[in-house]
């Protein structure tokens, strides 16, 4: 190795570490939404069967609006820590933020697993679970932002690996659900095994992070972190979007998808105005808000309530985990990956906002599917095939339009404006998620 050359990443261990850490950042969200039927069954009362898939293919009652509250309390921490980003990251050391967040998530998930064996009234169970969801996602938001800072000093390929790990989280959770259901054990043991799985994943993430300082390749790059400017996290998110533009963005509504890497021009450019940057990217910002508003307004609050019309049987038990959660994760990832080969329509075309607005049609389509418990609307699409087709198009369009919007965003601004554009896009991303979660209450009521 020549003097000054970076050391080699032996056996690509650093890449594996950041892949696992990416997986760990989105395990909480995905494991909670996939287990919605379990929580609804627990909240239905002491006489309800505690089962993850529901009973005989019918959806458990949802008197507490669990899926709506879970979605809202999962997304509000993201919005909150987006606003507190700079203050928090300057006051608390990076290692404390990462390890502390992982330990906090581990303890709260262990508590969630322990609650499977604890007999609680529905009200107490709901309150404890909602508090756990809030704090787990708060830790997750801090963890994700902290890891962005470290990724900023590494080659771009490691950003892609981190995002790929995040993309696997949803599929991993859905497969864990299917395996727990197919294990043949009783429902309570099945639920316990399901919630122990992310605990193992978080323990593995902690081990991987503690291993980083002992890897020569990681030491070489991460030692530069102390000399980086305070805006490193935002610059890192910019790098992540550059990786997205080339490789496609992996799945998950909570990941960072931001404008291109800041490339300083010769000389010190004038500090960009927030309003000037917003005027350039307002259409992309509006599109990302609308995409996530539609997605979170029905997924998982409405889609998790859809059941098979085929009657009792194995297909009815596995219908929602496969056709809702697993299908969404796979098709969403495919949609995001498609932007590696196709960027259409372009940033100057009026088709992009039109396609984004057309996604609002999915709201009534899902509301008119086979949801047993409803007040006002009829069931117009009782066939399982209708729901599968809707979900396929819904997830594919979500992934593609999110990735497309974020790939086009950096083309709207000058290089020295990318950091401000990154902060703005982060805010609008979180805003879209929160708006969708809030609207889910209205759509659930209108059923």
Model confidence pLDDT, tens digit, residues 171-200 = 888 998 888 888 877 778 888 889 999 999
For residue 150, what are its two tokens?
């470290």
Q: Find the largest Cα–Cα distance for the chain.
A: 73
Model confidence at 289: pLDDT above 80: yes
Q: Residue 1's pLDDT is what?
A: 52
Average pLDDT value for residue range 311-329: 90
Instruction: Provide the pLDDT for residue 443.
Output: 95
- Average pLDDT rounded to a whole number, residues 303-314: 88
Lowest pLDDT segment from 118-132, 141-155, 247-261, 329-343: 247-261
pLDDT tens digits along 398-439: 989 988 887 777 778 887 776 677 667 778 888 999 999 999
- Strand, helix or coil at 232? helix
How many C-alpha atoms does 415 have within 13 Å on its Cβ side? 9
* HSE-CB for 48 with a 13 A CA cutoff: 25
Is a pLDDT exceeding 60 seen at residue 263? no
Closest by CA to 18, choosing from 335, 326, 240, is 240
Which is higher by pLDDT, 11 or 163? 11
CATH class assigned to 10-44+63-221+274-446: mainly alpha
Residue 27 has which token pair?
């395990």
Report d(CA 286, CA 375) in Å as an integer.
Answer: 33
Query: Is 50 exceeded by the pLDDT of residue 247?
Result: no
Kindly compute the dihedral angle of the four CA atoms of residues 329, 334, 336, 337, in this order, to the nearest 10 degrees: 140
Q: Is the pLDDT of residue 294 over 80?
A: yes
Taking each helix axis as running N to C, give the angle between helix 122-151 and helix 232-247, from 0 to 180 degrees, rounded to the nearest 10. Answer: 90
In the chain, the percentage of residues whose pLDDT exceeds 90 is 37
Residue-wise pLDDT for 210-225, tens only, equals 999 888 888 888 776 5
Predicted structure pTM score: 0.79
pLDDT at residue 249, rounded to an integer: 37
The pLDDT confidence band at residue 286, using thresholds 50, 70 and 90, is: very high
Q: Please tell me which of 55-59, 237-241, 309-313 the model is most confident about, judged by mean pLDDT.
A: 309-313
Return d(Cα 383, Cα 370) in angstroms, integer: 7
Tokens linked to 387: 């729901």
């Amino acid at each position: 190795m020549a003097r000054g050359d970076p050391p080699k990443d032996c056996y690509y261990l650093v890449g594996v570490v950041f892949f696992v850490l990416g997986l760990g950042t989105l395990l909480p969200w995905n494991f909670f939404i996939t287990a919605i039927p379990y929580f609804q069954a627990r909240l239905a009362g002491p006489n309800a069967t505690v089962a993850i898939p529901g009973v005989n293919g019918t959806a458990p009652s949802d008197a507490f609006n669990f899926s709506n509250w879970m979605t809202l309390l999962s997304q509000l921490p993201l919005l909150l820590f987006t606003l507190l980003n700079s203050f928090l990251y300057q006051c608390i050391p990076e290692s404390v933020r990462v390890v502390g967040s992982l330990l906090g998530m581990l303890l709260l998930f262990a508590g969630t697993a322990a609650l499977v064996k604890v007999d609680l009234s529905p009200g107490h169970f709901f309150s404890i679970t909602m508090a756990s969801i809030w704090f787990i996602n708060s830790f997750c938001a801090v963890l994700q932002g902290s890891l962005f800072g470290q990724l900023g000093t590494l080659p771009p390929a490691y950003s892609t690996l981190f995002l790929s790990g995040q993309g696997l989280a949803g599929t991993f959770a859905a497969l864990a659900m299917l395996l727990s259901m197919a294990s043949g054990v009783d429902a309570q043991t099945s639920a316990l095994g399901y919630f122990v799985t992310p605990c193992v994943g978080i323990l593995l993430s902690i081990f991987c992070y503690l291993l980083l300082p002992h890897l020569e390749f990681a030491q070489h790059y991460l030692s530069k972190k102390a000399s980086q400017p305070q805006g490193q996290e935002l610059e890192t998110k910019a790098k992540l979007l550059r990786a997205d533009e080339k490789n496609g963005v992996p799945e998950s509504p909570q990941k960072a998808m931001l404008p291109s890497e800041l490339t300083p021009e010769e000389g010190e450019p004038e500090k960009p105005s927030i309003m000037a940057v917003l005027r350039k990217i307002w259409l992309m910002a509006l599109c990302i808000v609308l995409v996530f508003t539609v997605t979170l307004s029905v997924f998982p609050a409405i889609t998790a309530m859809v059941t098979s019309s085929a009657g009792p049987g194995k297909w009815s038990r596995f219908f929602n985990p496969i056709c809702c959660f697993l299908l969404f994760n796979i098709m969403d990832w495919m949609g995001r990956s498609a932007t590696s080969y196709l960027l259409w329509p372009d940033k100057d075309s009026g088709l992009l906002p039109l396609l984004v607005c057309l996604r609002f049609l999915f709201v009534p389509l899902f509301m008119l599917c086979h949801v047993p418990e409803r007040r006002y609307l009829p069931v117009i699409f009782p066939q399982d095939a209708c729901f599968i087709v809707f979900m396929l198009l819904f997830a594919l369009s979500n992934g593609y339009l999110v990735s497309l919007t974020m790939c086009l965003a950096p083309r709207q601004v000058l290089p020295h404006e990318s950091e401000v554009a990154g902060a703005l896009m982060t805010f609008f991303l979180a805003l879209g998620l929160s708006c969708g979660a809030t609207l889910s209450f209205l759509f659930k009521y209108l059923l």
